[in-house]
C-alpha cells in the first residue's frame, strides 16, 4: 500500500460519502490541479444524482440568484424568472476555486447554509498557502481531499446500488454519545476552533456507517471521517506521542482533558487525521486562519472603479465624468417602459429613453498604491542630508506618478506631526510642499507614525494599498504628548511600529544618518519592513534604492 | 421557517443572546452587530429569533405588516380591515442584493402587461416591525449600506424614482453579523448599531460537546427536537412579553443616569448615542430581570455591548475594546 493508492482510496471514499448525504455535508473541497485522477474523480460525480452545474469564480450575481427573463417579457410571454444556479438542489462544480472573490464566496456560503440541498465541489488549484479557497467557503464544505502530487491511478466508480441502500439507511443510523465527545476532543486537539467541522465529521461518519450497512457509527467510521473532514483543517499538530504512553501533556500544549470513554476514540480519530495530513502540511498550518495581516488573498486590494478592470454589475447613474454607459443594461432598463411612455405621448422615436434608464459600467480594478512619506524634519537632521532626501523623494514622486501611485507627505518636527500633503497624484503640488519643508526642533517620531497610520487606514478604506516610507536619521526624543523623554519616546515609537505591522501596512525605513543606527534597524524590523542605511547617498542613489526595495 | 433551531437551545453565547433579547424587549435600542469567527452560531441565533418572538397582529395582506388599516399605505390598495397574526418577520438580506430589491421598485410585469404604474415592495417593506438580518455585513456594497442606515435612522423608506413617489414605514431592528478577518466596518457604520457583541466558540470541551450533540439531535429530527424544547422556549417568550409590559413603568433614577454619563466620559465615547443606548439597554434588562428600577448591576451587564464599538481607536492600546470597557467599569464603579 503506497501513500498514493491510500489517498486515491480516500478520495473514492469521499465521493461515496458525498453521494450518500450531499446536502448535509455541503460539498467537497478538492485540492488538486488538473490531472487524470481528478478527472476520474469528477467523472464519478453524476452518481450523486443531482443536476450538475459548472460555475466559474467570476460568476456574477444575476446568474447566481436568477433574474427576470427580459426577452420573454418583451415577447409578451409574461414575467418568468430565469433560475439562478443557486435555486433548488444541484451539484455545483467550481473550478479554479481559489480565485473566488470574497463576496461571491460569501454568497455561495449563504446558499449552502440555507439548506436547499445544494452541494458544491470546489476544485482548489492553488499553489502555496496564500492561494487557497476563501475560508468562508472552505468552512461549509465538509469533505477535504488532497490529490496534489499523486501519480494518476484509476479510481473505482461509486456503486449506485450501494449508495441507494446507504441513503435509505442513513436516517436510522445512530451515533453513540461518546463518539460525539471524541470528535469534539479530536477537533480541539487539532486546533480547529469552529464548531462546524466536528458536526460535519459526525455526518460523514454516519454516511460511512450507512455505506457499510450498519445501524450504529463505530470508532472506525469516525476515524475515517476525521481523516476526510478534520485533517486538512488542522491548525496545529496534535501530540506526536499517544497520550496513553505519555505521563503528562508536553508543556505549551493545552491539556485536552480526555473524557471518560471519549479519550481513546479521540486518539483513534487523531491518528487517522494525522495519517491523512499531507506531507507539506506544516507549511500550510495556520494558513486557513485567513490573512489578518499582510498578504493573504488581498481582498482589500480590490477596488471599484469606472475605467478598467474586471466588469461588475452596472449601476444607475448619469453618463459623463468619464463613466462609460452600459448600453445593454440601459436598453434593458428602458424596455419595460416602452408601452407606458408611448402612452404619455413621448417623442416619436423608436425608443423612449429617460434619464433614469442610464446604466453605467463599473469595473473592479487592482488598487492604486499610496506612498506615504514620513519625513523627519527635526533639527537633528543635517540640512544637507535632508536636502538630498528631498531630492530623492521628488524622483520617487515622479516615478510614482508614472506608475499612477498616489503620494502623501507627513513631516514631524518640534512637538508634533503635520500632514503636509494629503493623498494626491499632483506631482507639482507635492514638489512645492516638499520644497517648503520647514526644519528644526525635536524628533517626535511617534506622532509621525500615528499620523501615518491614520492616513494609511483611511486610504485602505478607500480601496488603496498604503505603503509607508519613513525617512529619518536618528532616534526619537519627543513623546506623543509633546514632552521630551528619549526612552519613553523610543518605547512609544516601537509599539506603534508593531501596530503598523499588525495593520499589514508595508513599510520601509530609510536611515539617512552618517552612521547607520541599530535602533532604526530594530524599528524597521518591528514594522515588518526593511531598513535601508543610506549614508552619503545623493538623491538619485537614494531613490533607486527605495524604488528597488518597494518593488522587490 | 418551520422548525428553526430553537433559540432557547443555543449553548452559551450569553452576550449575543442577551443583546438579541434586549432588542426584542425594546426595539428602540437599535441594531445588533455580531462579530466573530466562523462556526460560532451567529446565523443560527438570528434565524432562531423568528420562532422565539411573539407573533404580530397585522392587517391581512398588508405588504408592510401594518397594525391597522389606517397605517397601511395607500398604494397597497387594501380596503378590508381584516386582521391576522403572523410571526415576527426576520428578513434575510442576501449579499449582492440590488437596490431595487431592497427599497422596492416598479412592478415590471404590471407596467408591461397592463401599462400601470405600480409599486412592488422590497425587503424593507417586508422587514417592517421585525428584523433585517445581514450576514457578512462587512462585505455588503457601500451604497446598500448607506441606504439601509438612512432608512433605519428615519424609520421610513422613501422611493423617488422611475416615476414613482412612494413612502412607507420601515421600522426594523438591523442585525449584522460578520467575520473580522474579512475586513473592518467603517466607524460611521459601527456607531449606528445599538449593541455590538463579539462571539467566539466555547473553550471548554463540555460546552462544545453539548453544542454538537444538540445540533446533531436537531439535524436528525427537527420536529422532535423543537417539541422537546417547546416548553423552555415558551417560558422565554413569556418572559420577553412580561418585560415588554413592564418596560414602560420602569424609571431610571438619577444615579443611573449619572453612572451612564460617567462611564461614557471615562471611555471617551463619541457623542451622546452611547449614553442613550446604554440607558435603554439597561432599562430593558431591568425589565427582563424583574428589577424595581435601573441599577448598577444592569448597567454593568450591558455596558460592554453598548459601548465597545464606540471607543476611539487608541493606537497605543493593544488590548481590545472589551478589555478597555471592563477596566473603566472597574474604575468608575469601584
| B7-199 classified as CATH 3.40.50.300 | yes
Architecture of domain A369-551: 3-Layer(aba) Sandwich (3.40)
Strands A90-94 and A118-124, bridge-based pairing:
parallel
Proportion of chain B in helix, strand, coil states, percent, rounded to 5: 50, 15, 30
Q: Which of B39, B139, B205 sits opposite A102 (nearest CB)?
A: B139
What spatial distance separates the first Cα and last Cα of chain B, rounded to whole Å?
Answer: 46
A260 band by pLDDT with thresholds 50, 70 and 90: very low
Residue A286 pLDDT > 70, yes or no? no
Residue ranges per structural domain of chain B: 7-199, 254-333
* pLDDT number for residue A504: 82
Residues 6+ apart with CB under 8 A from A29: A97, A122, A124, A133, A138, A141, A143, A144, A145, A232
Q: Does A361 touch chain B (CB under 8 A)?
A: no
Residues 6+ apart with CB under 8 A from A477: A442, A443, A484, A485, A486, A489
What spatial distance separates the first Cα and last Cα of chain A, rounded to whole Å?
Answer: 46
One pLDDT digit (tens) per residue for chain B, 334 residues: 467 889 989 988 889 999 999 999 998 888 899 988 877 888 888 888 888 888 888 888 888 888 888 888 888 778 888 888 888 888 888 877 777 888 888 777 677 667 677 888 889 998 998 899 988 887 777 778 888 888 888 888 888 876 778 888 888 999 998 877 666 676 667 778 889 998 888 888 888 888 888 988 888 888 999 999 999 999 999 999 999 999 888 888 888 888 888 888 888 776 788 888 999 999 999 999 988 888 888 998 998 888 888 876 554 444 567 788 888 888 888 7
Other beta carbons within 10 angstroms of residue B230's beta carbon come to 12
Residue A297 pLDDT > 60, yes or no? no
Asked whether B54 and B88 are in contact (CB, 8 A), the reply is yes
* pLDDT number for residue A295: 31
Distance CA A100, CA A56 (A): 8
Residues 6+ apart with CB under 8 A from A296: A130, A290
Name which of B290, B306, B301, B308 is nearest B333 in CA terms: B301
Asked whether B287 and B247 are in contact (CB, 8 A), the reply is yes
Cell numbers describing residue A93: 462544480
Residues of chain A in contact with residue B162, where contact means CB-CB under 8 angstroms, are 337, 356
Stretch among A371-375, A538-542, B31-35 having the lowest mean pLDDT: A538-542
Q: Does A345 touch chain B (CB under 8 A)?
A: no
Query: In chain A, which segments carry CATH 3.40.50.300?
Result: 1-149
Q: Does B312 touch chain A (CB under 8 A)?
A: no
B296 a catalytic residue: no
Other beta carbons within 10 angstroms of residue B318's beta carbon come to 11
Q: Which residues pair with A315 in a beta bridge?
A: A360
| CATH number of the A1-149 domain | 3.40.50.300
A61 band by pLDDT with thresholds 50, 70 and 90: low
Exposed e or buried b per residue across A330-345, where buried means at least 16 C-beta atoms within 10 angstroms of its C-beta:
bebbbbbbbebbeeee
Q: Does A195 touch chain B (CB under 8 A)?
A: yes
Distance CA A468, CA A527 (A): 10
**Alpha-carbon dihedral A247, A250, A256, A257, rounded to 10 degrees:** 30
Name which of A44, A63, A60 is nearest A52 in CA terms: A44
* pLDDT number for residue B315: 46
- B103 vs A151, residue with greater confidence: B103
CB pairs under 8 A between A and B: 135
| CB-CB under 8 Å, B315 with A496 | yes
Most trustworthy range by pLDDT among A73-87, A187-201, B233-247, B256-270: B233-247
Distance CA A305, CA A323 (A): 9
Instruction: Find the residue in B nearest to A332 (Cα).
Output: B108
Distance CA B226, CA B233 (A): 9
3-state secondary structure A112-128: HHCCCCEEEEEEECCCC
Q: What is the CA radius of gyration of chain B?
A: 21
Q: Which residues pair with B263 in a beta bridge?
A: none
Interface of B with A in 62-101 (CB under 8 A): 92, 94-96, 98-99
Q: Does B135 touch chain A (CB under 8 A)?
A: yes
* pLDDT number for residue A296: 32
- Judged on CB neighbours under 10 Å (0-12, 13-18, 19+), A260 is exposed
Q: Does A495 touch chain B (CB under 8 A)?
A: yes
| CB-CB under 8 Å, A110 with B95 | yes
The residue from B86, B215, B273, B327 that is catalytic is B273
- A92 vs B140, residue with greater confidence: A92
Across residues A202-211, what is the average pLDDT? Answer: 92
Residues of chain B in contact with residue A313, where contact means CB-CB under 8 angstroms, are 98
3-state secondary structure of A95: coil
Distance from CA of residue A446 to its chain's centroid?
Answer: 31
Instruction: Find the residue in B nearest to A314 (Cα).
Output: B98
Distance CA A195, CA A193 (A): 6
Phi, psi torsion values for B321, nearest 5 degrees: -60, -35
Query: In chain A, which segments carry CATH 3.40.50.410?
Result: 369-551
| CATH number of the B254-333 domain | 1.10.8.80
Cell numbers describing residue A348: 416619436
Stretch among A153-162, A217-226, A364-373 having the lowest mean pLDDT: A364-373
| CB-CB under 8 Å, A180 with B212 | yes
Distance CA A201, CA A229 (A): 6
Q: Does A107 touch chain B (CB under 8 A)?
A: yes
- Over residues A489-537, the pLDDT tens digits come to 888 888 888 888 888 888 888 887 777 788 888 888 888 887 877 766 5
Distance CA A260, CA B216 (A): 21
Instruction: Find the residue in A nearest to B143 (Cα).
Output: A315
3-state secondary structure of A272: helix
Among 1.10.8.80, 3.60.20.10, 3.10.580.10, 3.20.20.450, name the CATH number for the domain at A159-291.
Answer: 1.10.8.80
The pTM assigned to this predicted structure is 0.68
Asked whether B245 and B238 are in contact (CB, 8 A), the reply is no
Amino acid at each position: 500500500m503506497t501513500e498514493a493508492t491510500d489517498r486515491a482510496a480516500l478520495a473514492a471514499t469521499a465521493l461515496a460519502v458525498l453521494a450518500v448525504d450531499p446536502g448535509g455535508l455541503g460539498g467537497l473541497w478538492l485540492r488538486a490541479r488538473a490531472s487524470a485522477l481528478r478527472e476520474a474523480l469528477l467523472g464519478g460525480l453524476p452518481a450523486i444524482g443531482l443536476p450538475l452545474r459548472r460555475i466559474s469564480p467570476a460568476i456574477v450575481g444575476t446568474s447566481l440568484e436568477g433574474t427576470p427573463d427580459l426577452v420573454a417579457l418583451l415577447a409578451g410571454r409574461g414575467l418568468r424568472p430565469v433560475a439562478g444556479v443557486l435555486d433548488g438542489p444541484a451539484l455545483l462544480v467550481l473550478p479554479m476555486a481559489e480565485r473566488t472573490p470574497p463576496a461571491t464566496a460569501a454568497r455561495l456560503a449563504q446558499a449552502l447554509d440555507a439548506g436547499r440541498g445544494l452541494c458544491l465541489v470546489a476544485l482548489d488549484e492553488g499553489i502555496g498557502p496564500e492561494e487557497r479557497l476563501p475560508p468562508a467557503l472552505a468552512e461549509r464544505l465538509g469533505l477535504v481531499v488532497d490529490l496534489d502530487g499523486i501519480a494518476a491511478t484509476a479510481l473505482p466508480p461509486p456503486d449506485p446500488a450501494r449508495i441507494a441502500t446507504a441513503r435509505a439507511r442513513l436516517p436510522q443510523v445512530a451515533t453513540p454519545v461518546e463518539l460525539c465527545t471524541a470528535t469534539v476532543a479530536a477537533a480541539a486537539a487539532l486546533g480547529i476552533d469552529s464548531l462546524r467541522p466536528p458536526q460535519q465529521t459526525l455526518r460523514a461518519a454516519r454516511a460511512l456507517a450507512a455505506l457499510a450497512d450498519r445501524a450504529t457509527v463505530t470508532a472506525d467510521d469516525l476515524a475515517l471521517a476525521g481523516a476526510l473532514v478534520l485533517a486538512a483543517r488542522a491548525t496545529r499538530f496534535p501530540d506526536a506521542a499517544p497520550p496513553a504512553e505519555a505521563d503528562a501533556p508536553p508543556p505549551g500544549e493545552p491539556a485536552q482533558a480526555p473524557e471518560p470513554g471519549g479519550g481513546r476514540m479521540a486518539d483513534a480519530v487523531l491518528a487517522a487525521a494525522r495519517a491523512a495530513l499531507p506531507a507539506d502540511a506544516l507549511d500550510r498550518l495556520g494558513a486557513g486562519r485567513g490573512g489578518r495581516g499582510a498578504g493573504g488573498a488581498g481582498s482589500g486590494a480590490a477596488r471599484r472603479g469606472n475605467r478598467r478592470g474586471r466588469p461588475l454589475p452596472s449601476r444607475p447613474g448619469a453618463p459623463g465624468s468619464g463613466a462609460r454607459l452600459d448600453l445593454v443594461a440601459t436598453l434593458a432598463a428602458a424596455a419595460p417602459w416602452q408601452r407606458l411612455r408611448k402612452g404619455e405621448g413621448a417623442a416619436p422615436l423608436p425608443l423612449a429613453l429617460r434619464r433614469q434608464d442610464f446604466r453605467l459600467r463599473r469595473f473592479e480594478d487592482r488598487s492604486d498604491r499610496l506612498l506615504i512619506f514620513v519625513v523627519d524634519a527635526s533639527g537633528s537632521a543635517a540640512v544637507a542630508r535632508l536636502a538630498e532626501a528631498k531630492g530623492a523623494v521628488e524622483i520617487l514622486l515622479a516615478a510614482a506618478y508614472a506608475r499612477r501611485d498616489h503620494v502623501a507627505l507627513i513631516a514631524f518636527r518640534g512637538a508634533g506631526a503635520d500632514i503636509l500633503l494629503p493623498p494626491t497624484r499632483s506631482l507639482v503640488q507635492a514638489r512645492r510642499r516638499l520644497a517648503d519643508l520647514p526644519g528644526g526642533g525635536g524628533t517626535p517620531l511617534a506622532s509621525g507614525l500615528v499620523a501615518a497610520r491614520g492616513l494609511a487606514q483611511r486610504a485602505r478604506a478607500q480601496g488603496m494599498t498604503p505603503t509607508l516610507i519613513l525617512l529619518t536619521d536618528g532616534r526619537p526624543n519627543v513623546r506623543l504628548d509633546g514632552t521630551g523623554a528619549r526612552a519613553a519616546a523610543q518605547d512609544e515609537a516601537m509599539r506603534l511600529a508593531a501596530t503598523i505591522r499588525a495593520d499589514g501596512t508595508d513599510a520601509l525605513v530609510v536611515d539617512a544618518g552618517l552612521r547607520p543606527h541599530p535602533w532604526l534597524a530594530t524599528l524597521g524590523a518591528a514594522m515588518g519592513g526593511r531598513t535601508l542605511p543610506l549614508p552619503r547617498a545623493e538623491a538619485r542613489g537614494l531613490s533607486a534604492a527605495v524604488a528597488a526595495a518597494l518593488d522587490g | 421557517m418551520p422548525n428553526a433551531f430553537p433559540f432557547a437551545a443555543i449553548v452559551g453565547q450569553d452576550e449575543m443572546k442577551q443583546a438579541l433579547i434586549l432588542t426584542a424587549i425594546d426595539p428602540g435600542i437599535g441594531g445588533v452587530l455580531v462579530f466573530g469567527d466562523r462556526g460560532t452560531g451567529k446565523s443560527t441565533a438570528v434565524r432562531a429569533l423568528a420562532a422565539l418572538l411573539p407573533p404580530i397582529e397585522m392587517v391581512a395582506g398588508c405588504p408592510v405588516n401594518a397594525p391597522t388599516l389606517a397605517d397601511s399605505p395607500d398604494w397597497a390598495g387594501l380596503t378590508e380591515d381584516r386582521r391576522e397574526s403572523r410571526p415576527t418577520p426576520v428578513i434575510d438580506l442576501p449579499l449582492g442584493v440590488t437596490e431595487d430589491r431592497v427599497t422596492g421598485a416598479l412592478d415590471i410585469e404590471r407596467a408591461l402587461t397592463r401599462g400601470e404604474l405600480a409599486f412592488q415592495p422590497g425587503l424593507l417593506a417586508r422587514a417592517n416591525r421585525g428584523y433585517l438580518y445581514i450576514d457578512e455585513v462587512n462585505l455588503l456594497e457601500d451604497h446598500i449600506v448607506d441606504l439601509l442606515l438612512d432608512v433605519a435612522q428615519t424609520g421610513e423608506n422613501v422611493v423617488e424614482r422611475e416615476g414613482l413617489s412612494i413612502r412607507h414605514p420601515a421600522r426594523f431592528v438591523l442585525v449584522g453579523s460578520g467575520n473580522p478577518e474579512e475586513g473592518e466596518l467603517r466607524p460611521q457604520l459601527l456607531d449606528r448599531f445599538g449593541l455590538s457583541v463579539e462571539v467566539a466558540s466555547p473553550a471548554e470541551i463540555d460546552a462544545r460537546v453539548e453544542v454538537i450533540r444538540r445540533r446533531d439531535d436537531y439535524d436528525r429530527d427537527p420536529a422532535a427536537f423543537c417539541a422537546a424544547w417547546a416548553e423552555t422556549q415558551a417560558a422565554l417568550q413569556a418572559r420577553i412579553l412580561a418585560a415588554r409590559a413592564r418596560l414602560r413603568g420602569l424609571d431610571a433614577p438619577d444615579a443611573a443616569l449619572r453612572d451612564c454619563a460617567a462611564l461614557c466620559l471615562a471611555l471617551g465615547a463619541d457623542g451622546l448615542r452611547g449614553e442613550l443606548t446604554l440607558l435603554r439597554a439597561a432599562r430593558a434588562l431591568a425589565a427582563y430581570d424583574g428589577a424595581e428600577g435601573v441599577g448598577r448591576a444592569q448597567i454593568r451587564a450591558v455596558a460592554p455591548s453598548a459601548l465597545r464599538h464606540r471607543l476611539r481607536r487608541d493606537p497605543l492600546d493593544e488590548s481590545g475594546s472589551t478589555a478597555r470597557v471592563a477596566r473603566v467599569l472597574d474604575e468608575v464603579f469601584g
